[in-house]
Amino acid sequence: DDGDSSLNTLTEEDIQKLISSSKEAMKYAYCEYSNFRVGAALLAEDGSIFTGCNIENVSYSLTTCAERTAIFKAVSEGHRKFKAIAISSEVKDSFTYPCGACRQVMIEFGQYDVYVSRPDSAWQHTTTQELIPHFFSKKALRSVQKAKIQN
């Protein structure tokens, strides 16, 4: 499932450690509306780990997911380069992949490993790029903006 763009650079031990952090993060999930807990753990380039959980809102649309919470925490502490993110949920018979909103936020900070897990600690590997093929890039946005300023 990895395609040829895959990195998968972590050791099994590091993967298990990251998944374990993502599982622990589930305990703080604020999921009053879905009753569904998700956790994430983000490994920054310097080795530090930032965890996140889903945080819901009565308006539904202002909910954030575990993955975005972890990324926002890391970026707000000065980190913008990441090695991997692990994701856990309560779904038993399948692996919980991120929603489209999180995929877009993940790819904003480049290509890195994604480990999606099950409660029994089984995991699958993918990458931020595989999750959002042909993603819209800053370069494309800026090409239009520059062309307009020049005219």
Which residues are known to be catalytic? 67
Q: Which one of a second copy, Zn ion, none is in contact with 57 (Cβ closer than 5 to 8 A by kind)? A: a second copy
Give Cβ neighbours of residue 58 (< 8 Å, ≥ 6 apart): 32, 33
Q: Which one of a second copy, Zn ion, none is in contact with 75 (Cβ closer than 5 to 8 A by kind)? A: a second copy
State the binding string over 105-144 for Zn ion (x if CB under 5 A, else -).
Answer: ----------------------------------------
Q: In 10 A of CB 100, how many CB atoms?
A: 9
DSSP 3-state percent helix, strand, coil across the chain (nearest 5): 35, 20, 45
Closest CA to 77 of 114, 45, 99, 104: 45
Contacts of a second copy in 12-41 (CB under 8 A): 25, 27-28, 30, 32-36
The answer to whether 132 contacts a second copy (rule: CB under 8 A) is yes
Using CB under 8 A, which of the segments 9-17, 41-49, 59-67 binds a second copy? 59-67
What are the start-end ranges of the E strands in 1-151? Answer: 38-44, 49-53, 82-89, 113-117, 123-127
- Would the CA dihedral through 135, 138, 139, 145 be positive or negative? positive
Q: To the nearest whole angstrom, how small is the minimum distance from the Cβ of residue 2 to Zn ion?
A: 21
Q: To the nearest whole angstrom, how small is the minimum distance from the Cβ of residue 115 to a second copy?
A: 13
**What CA–CA distance (Å, rounded) separates 95 from 84?**
17
The answer to whether 5 contacts a second copy (rule: CB under 8 A) is no
List residues binding Zn ion (CB under 5 A). Answer: 65, 99, 101-102
